[in-house]
């Protein structure tokens, strides 16, 4: 029987702050539940909300965290390791951009940050198993992004070597995820070496198509690349295990297009919008995910250049609810069906 997509969920990373209700697990649960959300997607880098190491080593602590969240009528949809995943592969040209993603005690050493990040990914696999979760979100990191549109041309063999190195860093991590029965879902995102289907294919080829190297589907990043995000679902639906519901718009001008002209988000031709305010065909997306029996959560990721976060979250819960397709358990023309009759079938076929 086909599965109805679960939701709405909300990724809380963009809402966390030092002000209530966004500075503690209890308060953010109360806020999200009041808006109609059914699940939280939790970042793993903020100890105010969870202790990743304790989650990985203590089933009692995992049950405690689940209990707090369930007390508000919510579930945990997935854990996120986006920031840690970024640090698995960082080209030195970007080192200063990302070094604050790790604790300050690792600020002296890029290698120490990378090792810390890998350990965090392993903890997330164990923590997810303790929580009864099947998927973890992450970024791939990047060794090649500074060559994405090169002049002069890239040296021969550079891409091949870069993706081999990227796969070598991730394969031991993915093997641990296999041991725990958890999928690692890469969000394809500009700035990462995995940013579209072609780069994901290169990665899979170097991993011998590892079964745990899966996908977090976010159409907003595809719209801004002018990639066909509906065809993407047809091609990769077997690998899509997570879904960020995020809108975007792309309005090129005589002055700028895909690359954005170094403008701020509000002034770019391509920018993220709150749900319903952009150009993405969510009816088409939800239909395709229902068609392919997607079994995960529809999770709001709020990143809007214009609208207030509170309004984006409030409207987002209703938007996702209105787009979830409660899948049918019968064909619409069942009323006119004929019982199996071998003789009748042979007569119709003339045999």
> pLDDT tens, 247-299?
999 999 999 999 999 999 999 999 999 999 999 999 999 999 999 999 999 99
20 within a domain of the structure (yes/no): yes
- pLDDT tens-digit series, residues 1-44: 688 999 999 999 999 999 999 999 999 999 999 999 999 999 99
Question: What's the rounded mean pLDDT across residues 146-158?
Answer: 96
27 within a domain of the structure (yes/no): yes
Categorise residue 320: left if φ over 0, alpha if ψ from -120 to 50, beta otherwise: alpha
Cis peptide before 124 (omega within 30 of 0): no
* Contact by Cβ (8 Å): 223, 262: no
- Enumerate residues 6+ apart whose C-beta is below 8 A from 26: 68
Quick one: CA dihedral 113, 115, 118, 122, positive or negative? negative
Distance of CA 219 to the CA centre of its chain: 10
CATH of residue 78's domain is 3.20.20.150
Q: Quote the tokens at residue 302.
A: 């709020």
Rounded to whole angstroms, the Cα distance separating 258 from 250 reads 8
Confidence of residue 332 (pLDDT cuts 50, 70, 90): low
1 within a domain of the structure (yes/no): no
* Contact by Cβ (8 Å): 16, 49: yes
pLDDT score for 179: 98
Q: Is the pLDDT of residue 87 over 80?
A: yes
Query: How high is the mean pLDDT of the chain?
Result: 96
157 within a domain of the structure (yes/no): yes
303 within a domain of the structure (yes/no): yes
Angle at 180 between CA 205 and CA 83, to 5 degrees: 65
* Contact by Cβ (8 Å): 300, 36: no
pLDDT score for 340: 78
Confidence of residue 335 (pLDDT cuts 50, 70, 90): low
Q: Is the pLDDT of residue 336 over 70?
A: no
Give phi and psi for 295, each to the nearest 5.
Answer: -105, 10
pTM score: 0.95
Alpha helices in 36-157 (DSSP H): 52-57, 59-70, 82-86, 95-98, 110-131
pLDDT score for 328: 80
Q: Quote the tokens at residue 176.
A: 């641990």
Count structural domains, the chain: 1
pLDDT score for 333: 64
Domain of 130? 6-349
Confidence of residue 223 (pLDDT cuts 50, 70, 90): very high
276 within a domain of the structure (yes/no): yes
197 within a domain of the structure (yes/no): yes
Rounded to whole angstroms, the Cα distance separating 134 from 211 reads 13
């Amino acid at each position: 029987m086909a599965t109805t997509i679960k939701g709405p969920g909300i990724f809380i990373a963009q809402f966390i702050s030092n002000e209530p209700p966004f500075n503690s697990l209890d308060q953010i649960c109360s806020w999200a539940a009041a808006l109609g959300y059914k699940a939280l997607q939790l970042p793993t880098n903020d100890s105010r909300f969870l202790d990743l190491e304790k989650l990985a080593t203590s089933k009692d602590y995992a049950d405690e965290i689940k209990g707090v969240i369930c007390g508000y009528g919510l579930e945990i949809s997935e854990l996120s390791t986006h920031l840690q995943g970024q640090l698995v592969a960082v080209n030195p040209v970007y080192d200063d951009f990302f070094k604050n993603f790790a604790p300050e005690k690792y600020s002296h050493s890029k290698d120490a940050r990378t090792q810390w990040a890998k350990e965090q990914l392993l903890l997330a696999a164990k923590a997810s198993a303790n929580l009864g979760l099947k998927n973890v979100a992450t970024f791939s990191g990047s060794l090649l992004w500074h060559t994405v549109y090169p002049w002069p041309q890239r040296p021969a063999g550079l891409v091949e070597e870069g993706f081999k190195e990227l796969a070598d860093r991730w394969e031991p991590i993915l093997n641990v995820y296999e041991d725990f029965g958890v999928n690692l879902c890469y969000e394809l995102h500009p700035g990462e070496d995995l940013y579209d289907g072609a780069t994901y294919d290169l990665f899979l080829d170097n991993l011998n198509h590892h079964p745990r190297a899966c996908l977090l589907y976010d159409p907003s990043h595809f719209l801004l690349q002018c990639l066909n995000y509906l065809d993407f679902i047809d091609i990769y639906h077997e690998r899509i295990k997570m879904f960020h519901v995020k809108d975007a718009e792309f309005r090129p001008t005589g002055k700028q297009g895909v690359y954005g002209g170094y403008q701020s988000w509000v002034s770019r031709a391509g920018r993220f919008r709150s749900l319903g305010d952009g150009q993405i065909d969510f009816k088409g997306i939800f239909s395709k995910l229902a068609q392919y029996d997607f079994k995960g959560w529809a999770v709001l990721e709020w990143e809007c250049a214009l609208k207030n976060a509170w309004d984006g979250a409030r409207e987002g819960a209703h938007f996702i609810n209105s787009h979830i397709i409660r899948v049918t358990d019968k064909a619409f023309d069942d009323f006119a069906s004929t019982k199996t009759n071998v003789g009748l079938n042979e007569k119709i076929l003339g045999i």
